[in-house]
Amino acid sequence: MAEHNVTGQTIIVQELPFKDVPEKKDLLQEDHRSKQFADMDRVIRLYAGERGQLIRILQKAQEIFGYLPEEVQAYIAEKLEIPVSEVNGVVTFYSLFATEPKGKYTLSVCMGTACYVKGAQALMDALKEELKIDEGETTPDGVFTIKSTRCVGACGLAPILMANEDVYGKASPGEIKKIIQTCRKGESVDHKKH
């Protein structure tokens, strides 16, 4: 297609009326979407042969799509030849599956007992106050989601705050601003992952 040609693209953009620009964006999204489904097909092919791998497939699907919308659930059900109700039953049972999109950064406060007795609740309160959202919600700009998480097993460092996969041990309400700023600055938290 002409649009994909670099030199051709310049000409076309000049010639195209303004209203057509969003269409191109849609096209890109469409592309992205079909790539996601192609990845999904690979995952299903990999695991469909084994019995009882639905949870694994859903975990992989969540990695690909970020969450599990009904469309994806229906797609998996069709490919595995099982009822959608069964897939949905599993998705809604386990807390690691999300049916709503999450923010770029998920800030999770560990609510294990060790963290709780060392002030996890104060940490959570400060987080809610700072981002002005409630537990389980996402900021309107789609950057942060806050949630409480089950014990991550690093009780020696309680209380624990996690930004995506990154663990902040012995976190205090005072540090929250700094952590949020670090994420905001786009200094990807993932970079610090070891």
Partner 1 sequence: MLIIKSIEDLKRVKEKYEPLIKQRLGHRNGLGLTQIMVCSGTACHSSESQEVRLQLEQELARRGLEEQTRVIKTGCFGFCQYGPIVMVHPGGIFYCQVRPGDVRELVEKHLIGGQVLERLLYHNDSTGKRTPTIEDIHFFQAQRRIVLRNCGVINPEEIGEYIARDGYFALADVILHRKREEVIEMIKKSGLRGRGGAGFPTGRKWELTAAQDIQPKYVVCNADEGDPGAFMDRSILEGDPHSVLEAMTIAGYCIGANQGFIYVRAEYPIAVERLEIAIEQARAAGLLGKGLFGTDFDFDLSLRFGAGAFVCGEETALLHSIMGQRGEPRPRPPYPAQEGLWGKPTLINNVETFANVTVILREGWEWYQGQGTSTSKGSKVFSLAGKINNTGLIEVPMGTTLRTIIFDIGGGIPGGRQFKAVQTGGPSGGCIPAKYLDLPIDYESLKEAGSMMGSGGMIVMDEGDCMVDIARFYLQFSQDESCGRCTPCRVGTKRLLDILTRITEGQGEMEDLEMLEELSYDIRDASLCGLGQTAPNPVLSTLRYFKSEYVAHVRDKRCPAGVCKALLHYTVDEDKCIACGLCAKACAVQAITGAPKQPYWIDPEKCTRCAACVAKCPRQAIQKGTGKDVAVLGGEAGIYAGAGGAENRATL
Contact residues for partner 1, defined by CB under 8 A:
50-56, 58-59, 86, 89-90, 93-97, 111-119, 121-122, 125, 149-158, 160, 165, 167, 169, 172-173, 194
State the amino acid at position 23 in one-letter form. Answer: E
Bridge partners for 163 per DSSP: 107, 166
Closest CA to 28 of 55, 1, 57: 1
Place of tokens 């409630």: 134
Q: Which is nearer to partner 1, 31 or 165 (CB)?
A: 165
Q: CB under 8 Å to 78, separation ≥6 — which residues?
A: none
Q: How far is the CB of 20 from partner 1 (least distance, A)?
A: 44
Q: Which is nearer to partner 1, 72 or 115 (CB)?
A: 115
Q: How far is the CB of 104 from partner 1 (least distance, A)?
A: 20
Q: How far is the CB of 180 from partner 1 (least distance, A)?
A: 18
Q: Which is nearer to partner 1, 84 or 151 (CB)?
A: 151
φ and ψ at residue 115, rounded to 5 degrees: -70, -40
